[in-house]
Structure formats: C-alpha cells, structure tokens
C-alpha cells in the first residue's frame, strides 16, 4: 500500500517540494524562534497572499508573486527598523504597518479575481498536491540560494541573535545580518506557503524550531533537530493526506503542534519529578 504512494507524478512533486520546503523552513525557523521574530514571519506569510493573488491575476506562477512581495516586505522591515534604539518595538511597529497594508491589498486582489474561488482558497490553506514541475524547479532554486546564505552566515547570525550588543561591539555587522536574515526568511515563507498556505505557515516555520530549542541549547544540534522535525511532519503529513480525506495543512499543523506539546509536557513532568 505504501509502495504506491509515489506511483503518481503529483505525489512525486509533492514530496520533492515538501522536502525542499521542510529543509529551508526548518533551518530558517530555528533562527526565527531564536531571534524572537515569529511576528515578522506571520506578517510575511500574510504579505505573500496578495503577492500570489496579484501573480494569478497577471497570469504568472503564484510562487513568483509570493517571492516578490515577501522580499519587498522584508526589505521594508529592514529599512523602517534600521535605527532601533528601543529593542524590537520599532520593528514590531513596522511589521504591523506593513501587515495592515498587505491585508488591504489582498482584499483588493480578491475583489478583482474573476476565476474560481478555489484558487484563493488554495493560496490560504496550501495546495501541495497540485504543484507542477515548474514550481518544483523554482522551489529548488530558492532553497539552494537561501540555504547557502544561512550556511555562510550561520555562526555570526547565532552570535548576533543571542547577544546583539556584544556581537556589535566585537565587530559583527548585526544590522546587515538582520536584513539578510529577513530576506532569507521572506524566501522561506514564500516557498512554505505552497505547502500549508498563508494561514498555516507557522506549522513548518515556527513549531519545529520551537521544539528543537526545548530539546537542546546547542545551536548546531538544535538546527539539525529543527530540520529533522520539519522533514518528519511534512513526510508523514503528505502520507496521511494521500490515504485520507483530511487537508494537508491540518495534518502538518497538527503533527507539528503535537510534537511541540509532547516535548513541553515531558519537560514539565521531568521538572516536577
């Protein structure tokens, strides 16, 4: 029964895209949680919706619109919050402002969309089982570029995330790293939306990283655990979706949340004992 899971081309594309997305989301998501930028990740996922809708209106791939709008929003956050003197408050204000504007754009594009409402539904909740060869190729290119950037800046990014003041005093370009990471995060959100949609993007982008930080404080090991968990919930979620009638977004989010809740519960029990 399981042997027939990859007999169909759409499932092969789903697993290829899902694996690529899980690799990037698990890696970037670890830094999202470490840096406390879950709100920024949420905003970027919402910005992706009007971007994808705009691309559909113009006859392009939704992935191109997702990438374009998410990257533009990441650059806007980096620019608006470049003079941060009060912690993350300036960045939070920029995030909230861009989020409100993006939701207005999404409403406009939805109003102008004359096709089937199913297309908009897929943008909100994911359509991994409908990913084509071109989307897989584009996802591969985005993941390779983003993973290379994370690998190159990994050590100073950890330093800047844990103690930015000391890192800046030691000569680490903290603000440049922050802007660069926001770009990588934007790309991660753009490709993750294909799998779970804009409303459920946290399933792969936050939960595995949060779970990994509960399991270990070692950065390299935590990064590996986060990627492994993202892969596990994606592969299992795709298999369950194939053999059931439940939506893929619900399955992946449930698995990711279940793992996080289990780890938190086990830590609470050990602490009580």
**Residue range 163-194, pLDDT digits in tens:** 887 888 888 888 888 888 888 888 888 777 76
pLDDT value of residue 91: 63
Weakest-pLDDT range from 23-27, 42-46, 203-207, 261-265: 42-46
Residue 241 CA to residue 172 CA, distance in Å, equals: 45
**Residue range 102-131, pLDDT digits in tens:** 778 877 877 776 655 555 566 666 666 667
pLDDT value of residue 21: 85
pLDDT value of residue 228: 95
SS3 per residue for the chain: CHHHHHCCHHHHHHHHHHHHHHHHHHHHHHHHHHHCCHHHHHHHHHHHHHHHHHHHHHCCCHHHHHHHHHHHHHHHHHHHCCCCCCCCHHHHHHHHHHHHHHHHHHHHHHHHCCCCHHHHHHHHHCCHHHCCHHHHHHHHHHHHHHHHHHHHHHHHHHHHHHCHHHHHHCCCCHHHHHHHHHHHHHHHHHHHHHHHCHHHCHHHHCHHHHHHHHHCCCHHHHHHHHHHHHHHHHHHHHHHHHCCCCCHHHHHHHHHHHHHHHHHHHHHHHHHC
pLDDT value of residue 224: 93
8 A C-beta contact, residue 191 and residue 63: yes
Looking at per-residue pLDDT, the higher value among 37 and 196 belongs to 37
pLDDT value of residue 87: 44
**Residue range 4-23, pLDDT digits in tens:** 677 778 888 888 888 888 89
pLDDT value of residue 195: 67
8 A C-beta contact, residue 194 and residue 126: yes
Domain layout of the chain by residue ranges: 9-268
Asked if pLDDT for residue 86 goes beyond 60, the answer is no
Question: Candidates 1.20.140.10, 1.10.3470.10, 3.40.640.10, 2.40.37.10; correct CATH number of 9-268?
Answer: 1.10.3470.10
* pTM of this structure: 0.81
């Amino acid at each position: 029964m399981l042997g027939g899971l990859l007999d169909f081309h759409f499932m092969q594309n789903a697993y290829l895209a899902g694996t690529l997305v899980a690799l990037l989301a698990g890696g970037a998501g670890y830094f999202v949680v470490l840096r406390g930028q879950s709100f920024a990740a949420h905003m970027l996922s919402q910005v992706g919706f009007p971007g994808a809708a705009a691309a559909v209106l113009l006859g392009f791939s939704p992935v191109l619109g997702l990438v374009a709008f998410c990257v533009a929003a990441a650059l806007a956050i980096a620019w608006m919050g470049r003079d941060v003197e009060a912690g993350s408050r300036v960045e939070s204000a920029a995030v909230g402002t861009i989020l409100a504007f993006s939701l207005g754009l999404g409403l406009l594009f939805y109003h102008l969309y004359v096709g089937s409402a199913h297309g908009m539904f897929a943008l909100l909740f994911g359509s991994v089982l409908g990913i084509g060869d071109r989307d897989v190729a584009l996802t591969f290119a985005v993941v390779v570029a983003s993973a290379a950037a994370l690998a190159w800046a990994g050590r100073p990014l950890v330093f800047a995330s844990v103690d930015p003041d000391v890192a800046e005093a030691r000569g680490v370009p903290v603000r440049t790293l922050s802007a660069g990471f926001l770009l990588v995060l934007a790309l991660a959100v753009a490709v993750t939306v294909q799998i779970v949609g804009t409303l459920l993007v946290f399933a792969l982008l936050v939960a595995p990283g949060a779970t990994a930080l509960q399991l270990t404080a070692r950065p390299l090991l935590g990064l590996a655990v986060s990627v492994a968990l993202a892969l596990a919930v994606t592969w299992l979620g795709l298999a369950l979706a194939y053999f059931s009638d439940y939506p893929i977004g619900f399955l992946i989010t449930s698995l990711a949340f279940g793992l996080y809740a289990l780890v938190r519960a086990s830590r609470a029990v050990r602490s009580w004992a």
